[in-house]
């Protein structure tokens, strides 16, 4: 059947990620497209969960941290005197690019400013969280050559 998610089929879906308390952490109405079994993988077993489903189906998946954005690492959190931080980064939510000794860049975000100190965190905002993902399958069809080359992509790829 051509409308069932299986290896080699192009799949378009939208998703919403919730924490276990029901708070919406991320909502994506723009369709994410991928080829089932292709080189891109979706976080936390999303791809496996939709195999055998069809357009119009809604699938709920529970994803532990190790299958999503990893465990929270306290070693990626740093606090410094706010006076040592350039003014353009002195607000909660500011993105700070930092480079390690190997020359690799990592994104950190200012998460707290209190008592003259500023804290940055390099963990993904969803690190350490158990997630509930609601996936809506919009389209299932034969993959085109463009699909197979990975022309369709999105940030949900892990």
pLDDT digits (tens, 9 = 90+) for 5-59: 999 899 999 999 999 999 999 998 899 899 998 877 777 788 889 999 999 999 9
pTM of the model: 0.71
Give the domain ranges of the chain: 9-66+126-148, 74-121
pLDDT digits (tens, 9 = 90+) for 65-82: 988 889 999 999 999 999
Q: Which CATH architecture has domain 74-121?
A: Beta Barrel (2.40)
Give me the pLDDT at residue 158, please. 37
Cα 113 to chain center, whole Å? 26
Q: Which CATH architecture has domain 9-66+126-148?
A: Roll (3.10)
Tell me the three state secondary structure of residue 104. coil
């Amino acid at each position: 059947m051509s409308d069932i998610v299986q290896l080699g089929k192009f799949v378009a879906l939208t998703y919403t990620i919730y924490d276990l308390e029901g708070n919406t952490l991320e909502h994506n109405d723009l369709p994410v497209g991928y080829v089932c079994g292709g080189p891109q993988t979706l976080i936390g077993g999303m791809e496996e969960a939709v195999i055998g489903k069809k357009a119009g189906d809604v699938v709920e998946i529970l994803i532990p941290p190790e299958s999503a954005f990893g465990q929270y690492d306290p070693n990626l959190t740093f606090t410094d005197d706010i006076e040592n931080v350039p003014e353009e980064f002195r607000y909660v939510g500011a993105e700070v690019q930092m480079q390690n000794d190997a020359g690799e860049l990592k994104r950190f975000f200012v998460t707290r400013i209190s008592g003259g100190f500023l804290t940055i965190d390099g963990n993904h905002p969803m690190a350490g969280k158990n997630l509930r993902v609601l996936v809506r399958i919009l389209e299932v069809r034969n993959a085109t050559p463009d699909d197979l080359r990975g022309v369709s992509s999105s940030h949900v790829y892990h």
